[in-house]
Structure 1
Amino acid sequence: MSGNNDKVTATTHWVWTAKAERHNGTRSVEGQAIWPHYLHKAPRKWLDEGLIQDSTEYVDPGQVDLFELI
């Protein structure tokens, strides 16, 4: 496959990272689903650059972990 057509498939769906929001905050909000046409299969380059992550890996900064309460 050529580098331009190389896609990665999400377990659930892709969400933007904090890095993506810093680079393009008007269109990319951390934790929000990426554009619908790339929701499940996105360019590998975005993952390699740290712009997207699987939604199962996203931890909301305001979310409390159970172990923090113990």
Structure 2
Amino acid sequence: MQELSRQAFPGPDVVPDAPAPIEAVRAQRRRLVTAIEAAALRRARTERTGAVRGDPQLERAA
């Protein structure tokens, strides 16, 4: 009976060394979050040092 079921509904072809699709999405999100955090840190450091002058957005925020 199981053999008939396997023939009628074959499972998906899975490559054992390939990461699961959900893992690929999680890895992509982690890279995106890391990039956003790095950009935010750079901006905060720049604002803290006062290196950016003449930027209307920064002058309004201050």
| TM-score bracket relative to the smaller structure | under 0.3
Greater percentage in helix: 2
TM-score (norm 2): 0.26
TM-score (norm 1): 0.24
Structure with higher Rg: it is 2
